[in-house]
Amino acid sequence: SYELTQPPSVSVSPGQTARITCSGDALPKKSAYWYQQKSGQAPVLVIYDDSKRPSGIPERFSGSTSGTMATLTISGAQVEDEADYYCYSTDSSGNHRVFGGGTKLTVL
């Protein structure tokens, strides 16, 4: 079965740049999506189609891809960005949708 791999945790100080990676064999052909989940809340889409930002998402959130890796970058991370982040994509057939295991971002 297809898997997306994320680091379990990332930690930065306020104002620093946080980078969260997601690796998967199909990412060169299939777009990545990123979701933010704060404690006790439903996930929220922060990046779609690799690098597009939905309306209402701060400009400090950006996405990029290179080969089999997608990266979510939070430039000038703020305390309120502390959350779990999940990548999402599909396998090369397009039939199987998967989430990465999630990355806990700590900002302190």
Partner 1 sequence: QVQLEESGPGLVKPSETLSLTCSVSGGSISSWSYYWGWIRQPPGKGLEWIASINHSGSTFYSASLKSRVTLSVDTSKNQVSLKLRSVTAADTAVYYCARFFIAMAGIAPDPWGQGTLVTVSS
Q: In this complex, which beta carbon is closest to partner 1, that of residue 13 or of residue 97?
A: 97
- Yes or no: say if 103 and 20 are a contact pair by the CB < 8 Å rule: yes
Place of tokens 């620093």: 16
Q: In this complex, which beta carbon is closest to partner 1, that of residue 40 or of residue 108?
A: 40
Contacts of 37 (CB under 8 A, 6+ apart): 43, 44, 83, 84, 85, 86, 102
Supply the minimum distance, in Å, between the C-beta of residue 62 and partner 1. Answer: 17
Supply the minimum distance, in Å, between the C-beta of residue 14 and partner 1. Answer: 26
Cβ count within 10 A of residue 41: 9
Instruction: Tell me: does residue 69 bind partner 1 (CB under 8 A).
Output: no
Cβ count within 10 A of residue 74: 23
Place of tokens 């777009």: 31
Per-residue interface string for the shown chain with partner 1, residues 31-60, x marking contact by CB under 8 A: xxx-x-x---xxxxx--xxx---x------
Instruction: Tell me: does residue 102 bind partner 1 (CB under 8 A).
Output: yes
Judged by the rule CB under 8 A, the positions of this chain that interact with partner 1 are 1, 30-33, 35, 37, 41-45, 48-50, 54, 86, 88-90, 94-102
